[in-house]
Every structure is written in structure tokens, then in C-alpha cells.
């Protein structure tokens, strides 16, 4: 899908991030976003920490560019919301929107991920 790469606004005052409206969030997109181990891990960490989390708290085994890329995928598919706070970028799950659109989905995915992680060979 032509993900319509926002035209890099000059953003006069502060940087702005593109987020889809609640009504534009698609189930396939959410599932695809969660189907990558890296991104699933991010979402799990995000769900564990109550509030917002800084990008760099995550100790991912990939480069910074790649991390940015994954956060972008999560954002463009409506899974997380990102906002700038000074030099840091805070990330938060869009729990309410997801719950309204797909009730129970996020919880069952998180539960499933936990179960799988505690399975023999689950972390592989």
C-alpha cells in the first residue's frame, strides 16, 4: 500500500507526527504491525510500563535507523502515539482507540505473547 509518506512539513513550531484517525485504523494493518518480533516486543514493553516511554529505553539489537523505522510502522498503523517532549520522543499505546475498534484484541495478543515467552523455547 502506498503509505503516503507525509511531505516533510517544515513544521514551523515544533515537529509534527502523522497519526491515522481512529476510523482509519485497519485490522490488517494492526496485525501486520504486531507480526514482527521486534515490534511485538516494543508493544509488550510499552504495555508493561504504565505511561509513556522514551524511544531509547528499549534495548533493541538493531541500529537506530531500524528502531525509528519500526516505531514509524507502529505509528502509521495506529498502534502507538508519539509526541515530542523536548529532545526525547515519548511513545504510548493507543489503548482506547484499539479497544473501541477491536475489543479485547490487544489484551489477547499481549496475553498470547506472555504465554509464548514462558514456553520452552519461547524466547528463541
Partner DNA sequence: CTCGTACTACGAGGGTTATCGTACGACCAG
Partner DNA sequence: CTGGTCGTACGATAACCCTCGTAGTACGAG
Name the site residues for a copy of itself (rule: CB under 8 A).
23, 26-29, 31-32, 34-37, 40, 101-105, 107-109, 111-113, 115-116, 119-120
Residues 16-35 that bind DNA (CB under 7 A): 32
Name which of 66 and 99 has its Cβ closer to DNA. 66
Judged by CB under 7 A, which of 34, 46, 73, 93 binds DNA?
Answer: 73
Distance CA 85, CA 49 (A): 18
Element spanning 84, H or E: strand 80-85
- Smallest distance, DNA to C-beta of residue 103, A: 26
The helix/strand/coil state of 30 is helix
Q: 98 near 25, Cβ under 8 Å? A: yes
Distance CA 67, CA 69 (A): 5
Cell output for 113: 505473547
Name which of 53 and 98 has its Cβ closer to a copy of itself. 98
Tell whether residue 94 is a contact of DNA (CB under 7 A): no
Judged by CB under 7 A, which of 24, 64, 119, 122 binds DNA?
Answer: 64
Tell whether residue 92 is a contact of DNA (CB under 7 A): no
Q: 77 near 39, Cβ under 8 Å? A: no
Amino acid at each position: 500500500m502506498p503509505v503516503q509518506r507525509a511531505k516533510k512539513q517544515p513544521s514551523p513550531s515544533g515537529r509534527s507526527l502523522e497519526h491515522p484517525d481512529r476510523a482509519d485504523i485497519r485490522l490488517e494493518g494492526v496485525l501486520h504491525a504486531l507480526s514482527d518480533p521486534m515490534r511485538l516486543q516494543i508493544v509488550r514493553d510499552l504495555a508493561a510500563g504504565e505511561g509513556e516511554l522514551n524511544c531509547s529505553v528499549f534495548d533493541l539489537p538493531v541500529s537506530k535507523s531500524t528502531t525509528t523505522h519500526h516505531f514509524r510502522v507502529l505509528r502509521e498503523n495506529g498502534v502507538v502515539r508519539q509526541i515530542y517532549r523536548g529532545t526525547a520522543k515519548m511513545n504510548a499505546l493507543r489503548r482506547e482507540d484499539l479497544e473501541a475498534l477491536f475489543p479485547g484484541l490487544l489484551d489477547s495478543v499481549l496475553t498470547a505473547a506472555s504465554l509464548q515467552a514462558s514456553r520452552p523455547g519461547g524466547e528463541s
